[in-house]
Amino acid sequence: MLFNSIDFAIFFPIVFALYWFVFGRSRRSQNVLILVASLFFYAYWDWRFIAIILISITTDYVCGLWIEKSKTIQFKRSWLALSIALNLGLLCVFKYFNFFVDSFIEVFRMFGSNLEGPAIRVILPIGISFYTFQSLSYSIEVYRGRLKPTKNFLAFSSYVSFFPQLLAGPIEKARNLLPQFLSKREFDYSQAVSGMQQTLWGLFKKVVIADNCAYFVDHCFENPMGLNSPTLFLGILCFGFQIYCDFSGYSDMAVGMAKLFGIRLQQNFRSPYFSRSIIDFWRRWHVSLMEWLKDYVYIPLGGGRVSSIKVYRNILIVFLVSGLWHGANWTFVIWGFAHGIVFIMYKIIRKRRLQTESVAKTVLSIIITFLLVNILWVPFRSENLNEASTYFIQLFQFDFSGGLQFPRMTRFIVLWTLIPLMMAIDRFTDDADNPLGTFCNNWPLILRRSLYLIIALLILFVGGDASPFIYFQF
Amino acid sequence: MHHHLFIFNFDVKKFILNTALFIVLLSILVLAIHVFFDSFYDLKNEQAIYVWGDSQMYYGLDLENISNNTRREVYSFAQEGSGIYEFLNFVESVPRECTVLISISDPLVLRDRNKERNLTGYDFGVLNEMYKEGYEFMNCFNIVMENIRPRKPWHQSVQLLPALDHLTITEPMSYYLGFYSRISEDYDIRLRLIKNGLRRLKEKSCKIINIDFPYHHELKNKVESRDVRQNLAEAKRGIFIGDFGFIMRSENIECSPTCMFDYTHLNGIGAKNVSELVVKSLDANNSGTFLYIE
């Protein structure tokens, strides 16, 4: 059930009305509805994978309680290890099994062996990387003594399976989200309006920008050999905006819909394409994942309090994990590795020079970072490394013959008229989690409602062909 | 203490009312845009020739050839995968006393509901008729949702399929055989709706030519003996010739090396040949022709 589908447009208002009008009497009944609705939402895609969420929920709930009960650090560690092993085990089996087996066979084939792959292919359960990481954060926080384990299984289950953010985050830390399920939610009119604004804005980004960009991206990546350099370059920028609007659009909708249930989720994007460096970019892009990796991978490895060499090693590990987290494919590993290298290089350069902040320098830094990030999207978007290298080779032929080789140029022009407008409004996310609201809340009511109507009409009339969210596959 | 099932929450009600108001306003705006759009593409030229059908018709007629030979405008509403809603919508759109070329193909009757292309704007009268004849509410609702974006409903030229010396396999044989594997649940509903559409065209005093396009002989040999194919052929003749008094005309087309692009679609040469036959049929002095192409 996609957020931009008719099925969801029927499902959501029903759950919303039941939540406030029938189940709104107590925290317990609110959580019952959230859990049932979330499991239904997940089962709508494939009911068999409900078992995986339930395993993850039960394991971390039990481990959390036993970590606290354990008297010695060894026992605490054992329970934490069980939680980590089970969550990562699920990820390994369902997400990486095919990848590891294929890579293993490929290595053997390089040495002349004629090894055949297994007949079984494991299906990837949608959103598994998100909810296993979220559930795991609870056990780790309890182990570290930052969070008291909850005895309320219902609240904990609702925290892990909360449907607006179940499939593609934000990956909420237990200490932020779980306490909200431990108290009764009250309806807040202004929060609900803010939630609607954010949902509308997210839908606009997904349907109007991302889905339209997808058309031109597919055109470029399906056959880069027949296209000239300017077309391929714009194809990369289109993918940059596609993935940003697809993912941040989803996050906006998730945060917005959560507000309608009286739940506050964290902001996942802060205008990443206005970053002044790659370090700045990673503070603004997929914030919840980077915070997770920082807290649970980078800091346990020693973080920044070790020798420079070890710091660089830690950074590289974080980015390799980030790459692998995104998908079981070498293209993601290369993408993560490349970001790690650029991140380290920037850290070294920054150490050796004084920081001066002129407007020209800031603008230049933003442009350079934007281009760098976009160039690095090529392996991310490619099906395999061959496809990525073909794209780069063709791009750097510097073939400027002919004009832009895009079909449906009118659509292309409309899209590139809307992108700067979207970016201008989205710039407000720097300080606020609701860009559209921040942009127009001071306007007179009639103008504000007219703006909503224009956005809704653009969604209905200018939207691209409906497609699933890219991050669902991760 | 007595508990009511429903909780009164003024703020939630206010929020829902405001949201509902917004949705109503948005719906009115969408409909207004559709009315404007429809008026923009409204066709009143009764001298023109109006074409409707699915991909067989889309690729099976050379529109420019017909237009040049008849000195009349030709507007084609044919699209790949056209559904029954598009047919009925077309019937409502054409002016009185005009000439229409239609093709009631086998897939139109046999295709699954969820594989129909029904994207020719809104006609709530047609939706109501479909609902009354047996389409479910959700089918009609999906048609409404899919048609939110207005589209130009017709075209006046087509890029015909190339004439190659070999058959192109766009879909495997099994795909086509699938249509004839069983009588679909919509069979009777669709036939009733087709009858309704033809009746409406007759009421509008339109001159109608129904074109029955050929299949490639490999496919034809495989489906000809199937019950579904025979039943449908009989039913179509029953409607056109029995109920509406169409004149049957069988014609052969010859092309070298072949008239077909794939199993079901004519290539450019085949389309040109059929177009010439259509022009001849237009000259005939009868209000309904069933043109069977072999």
What are A275-296's pLDDT values in tens digits?
A: 999 999 999 999 999 999 999 9
Least confident of A73-87, A93-107, A392-406, B251-265: A93-107
Closest residue on chain B to A5 (Cα): B145
Using CA atoms in the order A132, A43, B116, B263, what is the torsion angle rounded to 10 degrees?
70
A189 contacts B15? CB cut-off 8 A: yes
Greater model confidence, A125 or A263: A263
Rounded CA separation B240/B222 (Å): 25
**Residue A100 phi, psi dihedral angles, 5° rounding:** -65, -45
Contact B22 A193 (CB under 8 A): no
Which tens digit of pLDDT belongs to each residue from A18-56? Answer: 999 888 888 899 999 999 999 999 998 888 889 989 999
Q: Which of A219, A286, A326, A339 is catalytic?
A: A326
Residue A8 Cα, gap to closest chain B Cα (Å): 13
Q: Report yes or no: A82 and A63 within 8 Å, Cβ to Cβ.
A: yes
Q: What is the pLDDT of residues B149-194, one digit of tens each?
A: 888 888 888 899 998 888 888 888 888 888 898 887 889 999 999 9
Q: Could you tell me which residues come within 8 angstroms of residue A254 by beta carbon, excluding any fewer than 6 positions away?
A: A164, A165, A168, A169, A170, A202, A265
* A111 — pLDDT class (breaks 50, 70, 90): confident
How close does chain A come to B17, measured CA to CA in Å? 12
CA-wise closest residue to A433 among A262, A253, A280, A293: A253
> Which residue numbers of A have CB closer than 8 Å to B's CBs?
6, 17, 20-22, 24-25, 187-189, 192-193, 196, 449, 452-453, 456-457, 460-461, 463
Contacts of B23-32 spanning 24+ positions with Cβ under 8 A:
B25/A449, B25/A453, B26/A453, B26/A456, B26/A457, B29/A453, B29/A457, B30/A457, B30/A460, B30/B148, B31/B122
Using alpha carbons, select from B84, B64, B89 the residue that is nearest to residue B74: B64
- Output the pLDDT for position A196: 94
Q: How confident is the model at residue A240 (pLDDT cuts 50, 70, 90)?
A: very high
**Beta-carbon contacts of residue B167 (< 8 Å; ≥ 6 apart):** B216, B218, B258, B260, B261, B262, B263
What mean pLDDT do residues A3-9 have? 83
A460 neighbourhood in chain B, CB within 8 Å: 30, 148-149
Alpha-carbon distance A262 to nearest alpha carbon in chain B (angstroms): 12
Mean pLDDT, residues A205-231 taken together: 92
- The rounded distance, in Å, linking the Cα atoms of A258 and A247 is 16
Q: Which pLDDT score, from 0 to 100, does residue A469 have?
A: 67
Q: Do B6 and A22 touch (CB under 8 A)?
A: yes
Model ipTM value: 0.80
* pLDDT (average), residues A200-222: 93
Mean pLDDT by 10 residues, chain B (294 residues): 65 90 94 87 86 94 93 92 92 92 93 83 91 90 87 87 87 88 86 95 94 92 90 93 92 86 92 92 83 88
- Contact yes or no for B240/B288 (Cβ under 8 A): yes
Q: Do B29 and A457 touch (CB under 8 A)?
A: yes
At residue B240, the pLDDT reads: 93
Contacts of A193 in chain B (CB under 8 A): 15
In the prediction, which pLDDT does B232 show?
93
pLDDT of B207 reads: 93
- Whether B9 sits inside 8 A of A24 (CB atoms) is yes
Q: Do B150 and A457 touch (CB under 8 A)?
A: no
Query: What is the residue-wise DSSP string for chain B?
Result: ----SSPP-HHHHHHHHHHHHHHHHHHHHHHHHHHHHHHHT----TTSEEEE-SHHHHHH--HHHHHHHHTS-EEE---TTB-HHHHHHHHHHSPTT-EEEE---HHHHHS-GGG-B--S---HHHHHHHHHHT--HHHHHHHHHHTSS-----BS---PPP--SS---SS-HHHHHHHTSS--TTHHHHHHHHHHHHHHHHHTT-EEEEEEPPPPHHHHHHHTTSHHHHHHHHHHHIIIIIIT-PEEEEE----SS-SBSSSS-B-HHHHHHHHHHHHHHHHSS-SEEEEEE-
Q: Which residue has the higher pLDDT, B167 or A298?
A: A298
pLDDT of residue A83: 92
Q: How confident is the model at residue A122 (pLDDT cuts 50, 70, 90)?
A: low
Strand B49-52: give its sheet, edge to edge. Answer: B74-76, B49-52, B99-102, B207-212, B288-293, B247-251
The reply to whether residue A460 touches residue B25, judged by beta carbons under 8 angstroms, is no
Chain A residues within an 8 Å CB radius of B6:
21-22
Are B7 and A452 an interchain contact pair (Cβ–Cβ within 8 Å)?
Answer: no
The mean pLDDT value of chain A amounts to 88
Q: Confidence class of residue A355 from pLDDT cuts 50, 70 and 90? A: low
Q: How far is residue B264's CA from residue B161's CA, in Å, rounded to a whole number?
A: 12
pLDDT of residue A121: 65
Q: Confirm whether A219 is a catalytic residue.
A: no
Tell me the pTM: 0.83
pLDDT at A474 (0 to 100)? 60
Residue of A nearest to B31 (CA): A457
Ramachandran quadrant class, B134 (left: phi over 0; alpha: psi -120 to 50; beta: rest)? left
With beta carbons less than 8 A apart as the criterion, state whether A67 and A143 touch. yes
- B14 → closest Cβ in A22, A189, A461: A189
Region A322-328: what's the mean pLDDT?
Answer: 87
Q: Nearest by CB to A187, which of B11, B22, B29?
A: B11
| Mean pLDDT, range A137-161, rounded to an integer | 92
pLDDT of residue A431: 60
Q: Which residue has the tokens 């496919």?
A: B219
For residue A366, what pLDDT is reported? 92
pLDDT of residue A369: 94
pLDDT higher than threshold 70 for residue A117: no
